A = this chain, B = another copy of it.
Amino acid sequence: MVRKSATGRIGIADVAIKAGVSHATVSRVMNGNFTVDPDIAARVRAAAAELKYQPNPVGRSLALGKTDTIGIVVPDLANPTFQAILRGLSRAAAQDSYRVLIADSFEVSSEEAILAGEARRRCDGLVLCAPRMSDAELEEIAPSLHPLVLINRTTAAAGVPSLVVDYGQGVQDIAEHLVDLGHTRLAFLAGPPRSASNGLRLQGLESFKAAHPQVEVTMLEGGSDFDTGHEAVDAVLESGATGILAFNDLVAMGLMSGLHERGLDVPGDISVTGFDDIPFAKYTTPALTTAAVPITELGEQAWQQLRALIRKEENEAPGSRYQPRLEVRSSTGPAKAPRTAAHG
Closest beta carbon of chain B to A161's beta carbon, Å? 21
Q: Quick check: B99 and A99 within 8 Å, CB to CB?
A: no
> Within 8 Å of chain B (Cβ to Cβ): is A117?
yes
- Evaluate whether A67 and B58 lie within 8 angstroms (CB atoms) in the complex, with A99-B102, A104-B94, A285-B284 already known: yes
CA distance A257 to B103 in the complex (A): 35
Chain B residues in 8 Å Cβ range of A283 = 226, 230, 253-254, 256-257, 284
Chain B residues in 8 Å Cβ range of A117 = 54
> Within 8 Å of chain B (Cβ to Cβ): is A193?
no
Q: Quick check: B104 and A101 within 8 Å, CB to CB?
A: no
Q: Quick check: A101 and B103 within 8 Å, CB to CB?
A: no
The interface on chain A, measured as residues whose beta carbon lies within 8 A of the other chain's beta carbons, has a size of 47
> Within 8 Å of chain B (Cβ to Cβ): is A184?
no
Q: Quick check: B65 and A90 within 8 Å, CB to CB?
A: no
Residues 75 to 96 of chain A near chain B (Cβ within 8 Å): 77-78, 83, 86-87, 90-91, 94
A-to-B contact residues, CB < 8 Å: 7, 52, 54, 56-59, 61-62, 65, 67, 69, 77-78, 83, 86-87, 90-91, 94, 99-104, 106, 117-119, 121-122, 144, 226, 230, 253-254, 256-257, 260, 279-280, 282-285, 287
